[in-house]
Structure 1
Amino acid sequence: MVSITSTASLANALRKTIVDTQNQMSKAQVEVSTGRVADLGLALGGGTAQDVSLGVRSADLSSITNSNAVIAARLSTTDTSLETIATTAQNFLETLVGAQSGAGSDAQAIQDNAVSGLKSLIGALDTSIGGVYLFGGVSTSTSPIADYFSDPPSASKDALDQAFVSAFGVTQSDDAVGSITQSQMQSYLEGGFSDLFSASGWTTSWSSASDRATSNRISLSQIADTSVSANDSAFRGIAAAYAMVADSGVTKLGSDAYNEVLRTATTTLSSAIGDLTRLRASVGVMQTNVSNANDSLTAQQNALASQIGALENVDPYEASTRLNNLTTQLETSYTLTGKIQQLTLTKYI
């Protein structure tokens, strides 16, 4: 039996070989450059579902890790703000104690110190990162504390002024303030003034923050508080101490009423600093929780990467060798195709 093979059929066969080789080379090039299987579905078959599941979980872990980075930055700034508040409050407490012992009892200087401290407190509580107010609780888009010293007067300033007039019948700048007795001042500070810094009074005229702290998912299984609120008792107490010295007409008060302001401010501020220490400790716990969660996330991500790699990764040496062999095969096919195309009967007649 005689088999007849034409030049055209040989050329067509080689063309098919060239196309197949080019497809294989394309996949091999992807595998050499990425280190991963070019066609996961073809390579893994039934294992594709497992690979997809591992990839989804890895993406989830990466998302939480990225979120934790933002949370860690916010907590770090929160801690810095609390440190500033604590340092300023402690310095003012020392000033108050010194004034009561007879040292540095200049009423105007102490009032100026209180004004500066209150401004610093408000500025710290209104700290924001990327438009997120750190002390707003879940109300992160609005500054928690309005400027007490604004023009026109803030709600907090109006409320305090009204409380003072209700108690004494005069404003803080009136010379009649000098006639206020120690017992009258004590009643005011423990009554109408104190009410302004109660939980309800604070949120009525001072703060627009939410009591509820923000919470975030910091690991696959853990949701934790990640902020503190400007409504905390520590901030209310510190603000009260500053405000009673800054805006009770201390430069016009008689010595007994003036000393009552200093005494009450000292007691209030001392207690608030204790509350602030507790609050700073809670922020430290939050930072530790996020750090520990990140360590756990990293370990889980490494384990998943190993499992995914076992399914998807290729041997780089084998892939490179295969690519070289395919390149040689393609070049040979091109050469044979050229020679076949040159075969014509006219050359032999």
Structure 2
Amino acid sequence: MVSYVQTISSLQSLLSRQRTTSDMTRLMMNAETEVATGRHADPFAALGSRSIEAMSTRAVYERTEGRIESNTFLQNRLDLMATALGNIREAAQEVLTATITNTDASSSRPQYLQEMAATAYDTIVSFLNSSYNGKSLFAGVDSDRAAMNSWGQDDSGTGLSPSDVMSAIVGGGITDATDAASKIAALDAAFNGTPGTAAHAYDESFFNGTPLTDGLGNANPRMTAQIDESLDISYGVQANDQGFRDLMRGLAMLATTDPADIGDDDAYEAWIGAAASALGSGVNAVLASETRTGTMQKLVEDANDRLNNKKEVLSLHISELESVDPYEAATRLTSIQTQLQASYAVTARLSQLSYINFL
């Protein structure tokens, strides 16, 4: 009778023990992660067929979180816009009140209106040049630049400042009613895009942002944002909107010619009346922009409330899918540690065996 003894080489035995130890170490590390985080160390392996559901839910969660962040950014921008519009309206209202008070030629000529208008012009320009995170608030989609030139600031394209344009149109002052009517018409054309001299146009020497229309007369894009899955808003307020053109025209008329120097009563009333009318139209338009901006603020706030609720629901669902039983994870960790310690002990004893010990 022949018997066979299967032998295992020392190297094979060593490699087998190393693989076993490595596998157990990996399992222990996974268990440690699960105990520490409360989630599967490898959720997709643990979930099996439900891993697709987990991936999809987490993708929606991340999109929702990103939209909340962008909405918060937009909310801050709208808050700053609303504040700037309120400041613009208050500064303009002060000049409007003073102008209306002095529209009657029989009253004493105001000695301070020109200086007040010039100061208000640059104050309002500073608000219109407000920016958030490096982006201009009132320049339109071309938000990488300041929206307006100040009263004495030369435009980089035409080389003319608003003061230069006004001086070129108004000239040496207002002489009579006919002269007033002619210059009022020329200013209307300049501020509404049809001047006799192209460089005198509002969009050329006053405003630096996005024109209202392109070269073919088509409306240019406005500032928009998607604040929810199916809700887009157009929130742009531009310093070349009609109301702002009227507002700045009224201020420029008063800042260019000192009403106290207009000697002809009819000319005085025509000029001051036109300036007051432009200012009144502008103040009303700014108030309308404030109201509309407030509406946009509310829409964004409501959208973020909905998104935060959605985020909470998604977070709970992800937790249900990926969470592990903390007691089960701790028990498994203890068991693996015990097995690993036993493996190390066996390996240590085997390494001490030698034929010499049995000779």
User: TM-score band, normalised by the shorter chain?
Assistant: 0.7 to 0.9
Coordinate RMSD, CA, aligned: 2.9
Q: What are the residue-to-residue correspondences of 1:73-152 with 2, within 5 Å?
A: 73-100=76-103, 107-150=110-153
2:232 to 211, 223, 241: 223
The letter for the 1-side match of 2:203 is T
Partner SS for 2:240: coil
Instruction: Tell me the equivalent position of 2:313.
Output: 303
Task: Name the counterpart of 2:245.
Answer: 236
Cα distance in 1 for residues equivalent to 2:94 and 2:151: 21
Superposed displacement of residue 204, structure 1: 4.2
The answer to whether the 8 A contact 1:238-1:273 is kept is: yes
Report SS of the residue matched to 1:213.
coil
Whether 1:283 and 2:289 are equivalent positions in the alignment is: no
TM-score normalised by the chain length of structure 2: 0.83
Preserved contact between residue 77 and residue 132 of structure 2 (Cα < 8 Å): yes
What is the correspondence of 1:305-324 to structure 2 with a 5 Å cutoff?
A: 305-324=315-334
CA distance in 2, matches of 1:327, 1:36: 20
2:187 to 188, 193, 203: 193
Q: How many residues align?
A: 337
Structure 1 stretches lacking a partner, 5+ long: 166-170
**CA distance in structure 2 between the partners assigned to 1:292 and 1:196 by the alignment:** 42
Deviation at 1:255, TM superposition (A): 5.6
2:215 corresponds to which residue?
Answer: none
User: Paired residue for 2:216?
Assistant: none
User: Does residue 1:38 correspond to 2:41, yes or no?
Assistant: yes
Per-residue Cα deviation, 1:58-97 (whole angstroms, up to 9, x for no partner): 2222222221122111111111110110110111122223
Percent identity (aligned): 26
Q: Is the 8 A contact 2:154 2:161 kept in 1?
A: no
Q: CA deviation at 1:283?
A: 0.5
Show the counterpart of 1:65: 68
Instruction: Name 2:165's counterpart in structure 1.
Output: 159
Structure 2 regions of 5+ residues with no counterpart? 195-200, 213-220
Could you tell me how far apart the structure 1 residues matched to 2:154 and 2:356 are?
A: 105
| 3-state SS of paired residue (1:218) | strand
Per the alignment, in what secondary structure is the counterpart of residue 274 of structure 2?
helix
CA distance in 2, matches of 1:104, 1:15: 105
Aligned equivalents of 2:52 and 2:60: distance in 1? 12
Distance 1:286 1:343, change over 3 A: same
Aligned to 1:248: 257
In the alignment, which residue of structure 1 is the partner of 2:54? 51
Deviation at 1:151, TM superposition (A): 5.2
- Where 1:90 maps in the other structure, the secondary structure is helix
Counterpart Cα distance in 2 of 1:74 and 1:227? 11
Relative to its length, the structure with more helix (as a share) is 1
Q: What residue identity is the alignment partner of 1:278?
A: A
CA displacement at 1:117 relative to structure 2:
0.7
The more displaced of 137-146 and 256-265 is 256-265
- Measure the CA separation in 1 of the matches of 2:26 and 2:107: 88
Is residue 95–residue 104 contact of structure 1 (8 Å, CA) maintained in 2?
Answer: no
Q: Say which SS state the counterpart of residue 225 (structure 2) adopts.
A: strand
1:24-53 CA-partner distances (Å, limit 9, x unpaired): 012112222333211233212222222222
Residues 112 and 7 (structure 1), Cα distance of their counterparts in 2 relative to 1, 3 Å cut = same
What SS does the corresponding residue of 1:50 show, helix, strand or coil? Answer: helix
CA distance 1:11–1:195, change in 2 (3 Å): closer
CA, structure 1 residues 103+339, in 2 after alignment: closer, same or farther (shift >3 Å)? farther
Alpha-carbon distance in 1 for matches of 2:34, 2:320:
14
- Partners of 2:303 and 2:77 lie apart in 1 by 16
Letter in 1 for 2:188: S
Paired with 1:269 and 1:6, the residues of 2 have a C-alpha distance of: 100
How big is the shift at 1:227?
Answer: 2.2
TM-score (normalizing by structure 1): 0.85
